Structures are given as structure tokens and as C-alpha cells.
Structure 1
Amino acid sequence: MFKTKEEVIVIQAEATDPITTGVVFWSHDKGTAKLLFQLKKGTVSQTLAKGTIVPICLVFNGGRHIYHAVIEDAVNGIVSIVLEDNILGYVGRVEGSIYIELPDSRSLDTAGRFTFDIKRSPIDENVPELKDYYWQGFNEIMAQYHQTIATIKLEAKALLDSLTTDVTKVKNDIATANVKIAEIRKKLDDNDVFTKAESSANVINSIGGVTSATFIDSFRVDGVVGTAARDKEGVPIPFSKEDYDDINSADKFVRSETIVNGRGAEMIFEFPVIKNLEEKYPFIFEGLSSDDEKQVRYLEVLKSVDMSQFSRGGGVRTDESSGINYARPYIKNLNNGFLALSSWANTTGNFVKFSGKWNEARTTLVQSNGSYIVFVTSNKNGSSDGGAISNGTIPAWIEVMNLQLIIELEVNGRTIIESMIAANHRENLATQEEAETGTDNAKTMTPLRTAQQIDEKAVSIVGNQTVLGTKDFQDGILVAGKKPVLTKATTDYAITDSTVNPAMFGGGYIKLYRRGDLVYLTASFKLAVEKFNQGVWFNPPDWARPIDNARFNLKREDNTNALFIFNSPGNGDNTIICSDNIAANTWLNGSASWMARDPY
């Protein structure tokens, strides 16, 4: 028997004033205070699809309760709730709102709002304590959660005790290993070939000999091994990507010009030869750290330098008497001056190739940063050389194509071996700080320094450490010989409903989820036939099996409990059974959770 009030809720986009139902429930209406709603879209009843959930939120002064409405008539959209005893302790106005959760994950707020009142029955002196927040099914989940946490704590303590025993054994093994490392270090120090002059000499003579090797490298103007810029009244303007493409093309060129009276047109090219050679042939500069040392080594192994290019230029003569064609290459001196690379100059209007090995006075003009800086000009500004300039009306111009620098090195075997030995000399051994930092690429690591770096950088088999970043253990993890509890990156999921088993279900669904070692069940369904101590879901997945047969209750429409059991022998024989007698077309709602039997 219920005290019932029925209201029509229209689903619409416009906000409306709450429906004043005029309903008054009393604190003595335990299990009999029922609200019935018919959901409509306009004037048409809103049909509720299988698996639809209708949450109803009741808000009062100081809190709110959330109900999952029982679907009385899915075709005509009729749903109901029976007030729980825990809200009857409240006295005053209650505001309600209705929502719809559709099976395809969509949801909507019906915009239906209503109010009713709760008053104290004269017969009641003591009423249930009002809870600020209530969610049907939540208490059962929390009880399972606390039970699971207690179980995990016991298992963790057992694992920790076992791990402590293993750590003690490992410490003893490490102590024995340290003694052996000390013995090896002493033998290495006693037999260090790199600190004994006679041993070093034998190594050089037997391996190095007098055999030499020649290396020839071409440095093109590509923006990396060779960079370029146009002169604009003394300010270099860097080449664009298109310029770099053109100067290396077989049929294109780059051009620079000026209209400034008295100035010639210039292009500047820089080749960081030592930097590029060190990257390609690091053994040549092994053990050297300063730019001065590297420059000395470069000049020791340098055999020749040649620059090849095609150029032409023009303007007016420096006395402005007539027009002239003129193009000539220069190199930057060490005192910020410049020298002509040779007496060659192109005085024709055609592209002419310039090529020739530099003399010793030019090859030594390596700048402090390890670069050669060369110019191709119509007239070198600041020089007294003849050439082509602008008179303020006629521009001076220069055009260049296919420019490259060619370096030839000659390195003998003795030089290579001496460099390697110098790099491994005791003066070049890494300190403990350098080994632990791990940023110096010029120092040699001894076994001791290697062990110290491993202690600093690597994950140790003993001691406490914090390890950052994601580590993907493809073959598994063992703790004291046991597999820990793991969590999959995705959630396991299964569902059964009238689509899967129409003979069993008249509507709604049962869903299973698993995250880690916890399995969750949510249900809202009615049976198509009467069931008593019979299965309702045959062969649910093995990953959902509980540690022991799981027992849980679902709520009938009359708010009574119906007992269900997850019977889990495994091997595909799992069954969810309704232990109580359940009439056909009786809706059941609720949720449950349990600990999975088998870990991932």
C-alpha cells in the first residue's frame, strides 16, 4: 500500500517554474511515500528504451538525495520512486528534478522541476537521522571497498617482510663484490700501460709506425658547413634558404648589389672548418679542449686548402671614368684586415671559374672560432685595389655560383695513436664528480668511476630510490618471487540484456566492469519469466569471478530486496543466479562489487 501522487513532466528546452504538487508526506510514511511521474515530449508520452536509467535528484536545505526511478511503464514513460526512511527526518520543502540516462551514453535534463513537503507525524518522537547526501547502492560498494583495502594491507605486509630478508642477503653479496673490485683496481694501477713511458713507446712504434692517411673534404655553402651573407653598407644580411639552394644549383646564382656612392658589392662566406672536422674525425682532436690547441692540431695535419667558385661583377671604375666588369676573392686576416687570395680577377662579363690552392700565408688565417672567412667582391671596400663601385646612379654588383672550400688533411698512424694515449693518460681521467654528472665527453672512465656513475644514475638492487618516468616491463614483475597486483590500461566490460537473451530479459540490462582486482556490477532490468533459484546470466566472463561465490541484493519495485549469487566454478561454467522468487516483469535495480579471484 502506497500514498501516491502522479505528475506529468514535459521534456523541453525552456526553463519553467517548478510544479507545486501540493503533496505532503509525513515522517510516519515509512516505505509508503510514493511519487509517480509520466514523462512526455509535448503531448506525446516519452517511450523509455531498454537499458534507460531515470535518476531523480531531491534537494533540501543542507543536502541532496539521488534515486534511480523504477520504470513502471516504459511505453507510456511512467516512472516512480518510494522515499527512503532516511529523508523522512527532514521537515520542510523538497525540490526535485528528473534526468534521463540513455543506453547509448547520451543523457538529458528533462527540465522538469517539482516540489513537495515533509512534515513530522504527531506519533513520531524519534525519526531516522537525515543524511546530507544519499545515493542508492553506494553503501554496498563502500563496504566492499573497505574490505578490499584491509585484505591488500595484509598481503603487502607479508610481501614487505619477505623483501626485507632478501635485501639483507643482497647487502652481504655486495660487500663480497666490493672486495673483489678493490683487488681488480690495484692490479690495474700496477699494470697501467698509459703511465709508463717504455710501454707507451712500444705501443706507438708497433701500432702507429709511419703509415699516413689522407682525408679530403668539400665544404659547400649550405647554411651548416658553410654560411653566407650579403653586405649592406657594412652590415651582413644572411642568405635565405632559396639563396642556399641557388648557389649550389648547376644553372642558378646569387647576386648582391649596392647603389651607395663609392661602395663595391660584396658577399661574405664563413666555413667553420675545425668544428666540422672535429665532428667527422674526432680522433684528430682527441684529448684537446681549448680552441687554441685544436687550431694547432689542425695546422699540423693540414696539407692544402682550395676554394672553387664561378663569379662575375661590374659597376663603374673607382675613378668613375667608365663602366667595368670586375670580380675578385679575398680572405679575412687575423687583425680584421683582408688579403686577396691571389692576383686573379675576372674582368669579363661572363662567369669565370676561380680555383687554386692557397699559399701558406692564407692557410694559417684560421679565425679564433676555427673558421675561414672569405669574400667575393666587385671591389673590396676599404682597399685601394682597383675594381667596380657604384657612382650613386649605376649600381655595383656581384654574382656567384657553385662556391665550395676543399680541405686536404694528412694524418699518420703515429699521430692517431699518440692522441689516443694522451686522451687516456691519467691527467685525462674523469673525476668522481665528472663521472656522476655524465656530461664531459673528453675524459676517460676507469672501472671505479664507472661504478660510481652507475650508483648515481642507475636503479640499484639495494637501498631506497625514487625512479621517475614510465617503465614498461614486457616480461612481467616479481616481488619476492610473487606477481604483484597489476592494473590493465583499459577496463574489462561485459553486458547482457534482452538483445543478448530475449527469452530471459523483458527489458533493461546487467553490466560487469573490472578495474584492477575489483569487479563492479550495475543492474536495471525485469525478467521475462518468473524465476526462483535459477540462473539469469549464464557464462559471464571468467575475469569477473569472485574469490568466493558473491552474494548481493537488488531492489524490487516494492523496495524489497532480492538475493542474487554469482556462482563461479570457472572454466566457462559461471552463473549469476536469482536465489529468491521473482515474478515476471518485476523491475530490479542496484549495484554490487567484489574482489576478483584471478589477478591480471
Structure 2
Amino acid sequence: MSNIKLVLTENKASPYRKQRVVGRLGDGGLTTIDVELLQSDGKTPYSIFSNQDLIFVGTNSKGEYTDGVPEIIDGQKGIIRYTFTKENFSVLKEFKRAYFQLTDADGSRVTFQDFTVDVLKNADIDQGQVTLYIRLLDQLLSDFEKRFGDQSINFEERFKVFLQAKESQYQNIYQMYNDLVLKLDKLSKDTKTIQEIQMEILKSIEEHDVFTKQESSANVIYQLIGKEEAEILITADFKEKITGSVVENPNIIRFSTNSTFMAPLTGSEPGQVHYDQAMTKDGVTLNVGNTNSDYMSQIQPNWNLVEIVDRTIPELFETVGLTDDSEKIEFIKNSVSYIKNTVDGVGTGLRRNRLTFKTYDSAGVLETEESVNDTAKIQELVREYADRATIKNMISDRGFLSALLFTEASDGVAVSQASLDYTKLEFKIKVSANLLIKLMIAANHIENLAAQEEAEAGEDNTKTMTPLRVFQAIAKWTKDKFVSMTENETVLGIKNFANGLQVNGRNVLSQKGEIVFDHTSQTDSSIQSGIVRFKRYGDWILVNFNFQCRSTDIASGGNLIDSLEADIVPSGSIQVDVTFDKALTIDASGKVTALWGLEANKYYAGSAMYFAKNKL
């Protein structure tokens, strides 16, 4: 059985920092962790099957490789257990990398979130200290049972009974809440309803004219007088992309791990979860990795220029009389005057961090020029072209523009991984001013204006909206979505009362289940590592100390935590022993102080339970 539990997510770039694994130099079989593996959505269990190989992979502080095989506890739920070996703990200090890797029958690999492993010096404790610790533990258990009852009754069961006894008190509070709602219904009888205000605004708008067809056309032509040619800027990315479909988004990503560069529109298409990772610039990346010798990891964005243009400017091909795909492709080749292809990503290879970005020509050959990210952080890479002959040679006979991201090859041990956060394509089409005028007039004709029903439905993305139609759409959408001040209503959904809710000056119970407050090195400078966790159940608070003191001593009376959250301040000061001769005081003023001081770099552990100061 393990007392260390980790929850690790598939292909997640940021490491797991909620708990660290600590072992002693040369120890084998003494440190065990229980791990729950999740899919990339961070919620769904990652199932492990019998034909898959799962291993622990680590790189110690000297850069040496070490591994091991975990025990599968529940394959369907992704639950595993791993006991660290003597070889794992053969070098002092924190691991450079530590993660679990899954390989299926086809040789495809999935890596899970990195976590922290720290190897400390051997413990220096004699038999007398061991005896003392055991005696103090027995005394603590005895005191606990005197305070909380019979050992045969599980503590969680006793606590559950206690909460059930509070149920009648909660029902009284709920009744007071209902009384409050009834009183609110009776307020402000003379207040205008939202519907009345909407009708006043609607009447005002209807008294004003909208642009006629002639006025709109004249405005467009005025903007273009004197220009022989004009450029239309179009932008595309992978938002709304559905795996296996080109209906929502015509563009496609392919990926491969191989010793040679993949040809355009070859390789595998990623699953929906991975497309979602490349839709926005948010630091969540689509990852392709491998450890096959001489194999590179490659990601290939492919842009369907004909479909992008057709969906962005649906009148274009019809206006110039193009219906055949080959005619449309030739038009695009001759009309695109500028391309800017952008990716945000990072790469990991054998010798260094490197991600290379190139564009294919129409024959599927990669250009000699390249953009490179040589850092360990996600960076923007750009390929930009303004020469029309070069651009024409980059567009394939199928109307696609294809690019490639790739990393250095693996040596069979080191991971080669390409990570894509976001990619977009910007390009310009150069057309005659006369054609552009026709397109803009067609887009602004009164026949293309949205009707009231279309505006209220909000489903058509091709119609023009006048101010009147915008108002009507908002009026329709807001109807029955706001709470009336005078009518009886049932309110659904979660409403967040940021500063609390009271009835007749008493707090209404707003907490369901537990709330957790964590204090770590990120929140308190006196904590070097580890965690101090407070869990509140109703008016009870359970605190667990498991932390390493800062690098300098804390004097007696000094603060470990300067300020507690209001919900976990105790009703009266309590003392918590963290060693046989050290203790902490959780003060009613909202501080946690060292009763007899704490030693630098030393680990401390202890727990306690107390009543909250601000009762529900």
C-alpha cells in the first residue's frame, strides 16, 4: 500500500506538482506510489490493455537513464502502482525527468505528465529514537480514541453520522432562503419590466432609416475610386475542426514518426482531442513523439486554399464564372499575392531542443530555407512569402498549401517530440477593383440582409445584420434569461454570490461537500517544498502538515504561514505536534507559528481537526 498518490495526464506539457516523490539514497523496494493515468482531457481514465507495455522512465541528476516496470492495479481505470528500485535511487538529488511511457502493439508511444522525484541522503536515526517515535505514536492513538470513541467504529462513519445530525438545522436555513425569495418578489411593483424597455428601444430604432441598396453600393465604390487592383486578406486556422470531416473546417493535420520526411497529405490524422489542442494559442499542445532509433517526429498542417476562399468569399467564384475545381485552383495560383504561415510550438531531440518549420512546393519537395525554435519554450515561427512566382509554385494541383514541423531524430533512448500549440495561415488575393466592387456590392445588397426570424435564430453566418436586426436578436435572446424583480420565477443554474448570502442577518449554507485550501512554496516563503492542506467539511476543518522548512531556521514564535483564508481560521488557537519536540500553533488571529522553532531544510508532518471561526 502507498501513501503517495499521483494523477498524471496523457501528453501534458506542464509537470505534476501537487506532490513530490522522495526516497533515500540506495533504498530499494521502500518507496511506492499509486498512480491514476488520465486521457488528455484530464478527466477520462486511460485504459491499459494486456498487449501494451508500460514502464517508468527517469533521468537522474547526472543525466543517467533508469527505468522500471509498474504493477497494473486496474487496467480499465488506469490505476497502477510502482515501487522504486535501488537502481532508481542510486544518485543523489532531484531527477531531471520522471514519467511513465506506454507502448502499444503497433509501436506507438504515449507519455504521461512528468512528476518530481528527489533522492535524499540516508536517514541518520538510532534504535532509541525509533522506540521513542513508536511510543509517542501509540500515545497519540490512545488520546485520539479517548476523544473520538471506540476503535471499532470507523472515523469516517462517525463523521458521517455527525453531518446527518446537522440536516435539520440546514432545512431551517433553506426555509429562511425561500422566505427571502418571496420578499424579493414583492419589491418595486412600479419597476419597468425588461420587455417594456425593449419595446421603447425598438420603436426608436424603427423611426430611423437603414441604408438603401443604392447608398450601400455608392459607399463601396467611393472607397475604391482610383485603384486598379485591390487585395483581400483571408485568415484560417483549425478552429471547429472535426476529425475525419471537412464540413466544419476544410483544413487537415497529418503526423508521422519516420526516418524520412513525410510527403504532403500522407501519414495519420490526429484524433479529436489532439485537434482541440491545436485550435487556440493556450499552451496546451498537440504532441507527436517517439524513441525509435533515427526516427523524427513530424507534424504537417495542410491548408485547402480553394475551400478557404470559397467559404470566406462565397460570391467570388460565381462572380468570375468559375465552376470547375481545376479552374478554381488555377485562379488561386494566379491570384494569391502574399502568404504568412505561422506556428507556435517547441521540439525535443537527442542533442538539443529544436523545432524546424518548412514549406513544401507543389511537387512535395521541402524548401531549403527554414524557421527554427532552439529553446525549451513554445515560440512563434513564421514562413512569409511575397514573390508571386514562388507562391504559385507552392500551391499543389489539388489546391493545398502544405508545411512541416519536425524535430531531430531519436537515438533509440532519448525522446524525439514535436509539440504544436497553434497554427494559422494568412494570405492575400489580388483582384481587380471592378471585381472587388461587385463582390462588396453583392455582400451588401438589401436582398442579403437578415430577416427578423433569421436574426433571432442566429444560425445563418452569411447574411448582413442591420442595427434593427441586431437589437431584435438581442431582445429575443435575453427574453426569459433575466430575473424579474416583481414576478414569481424559478431560477435555474449556478449563481455565484461572491460575498455570501444572508437571511435576517444569518449566513445561508452555501457549501456542499468539502472545500480545500493548499499552502505551498508558491503561497508561503517559509515552506521550501511539500504541502499544508486544509479541508473544510461544514464547520469542521481537517489540517495535514507534510512540508520541508525553508533554507533558514524559523525562530520560536516565527510564522510558517502569515495569513490563513477566512474559512479555515480556528475558533480558538490549537497546537499541532509535527515531531516529538516541535509543534505548530494555528492561531485564532489567522497565523500558523512555530511554537519552539523549526530547523532549516528539515521535513515535518502532523495533522489535527478543529472548529472554524466563521460558522455556517
What interval of TM-score do these two structures reach, taking the shorter chain for normalisation?
A: 0.3 to 0.5
Of structures 1 and 2, the larger Rg is shown by: 1
Higher strand share: 1
Bigger RCO (CA 8 Å, 6+ sep): 1
TM-score under structure 2 length normalisation: 0.31
TM-score under structure 1 length normalisation: 0.32
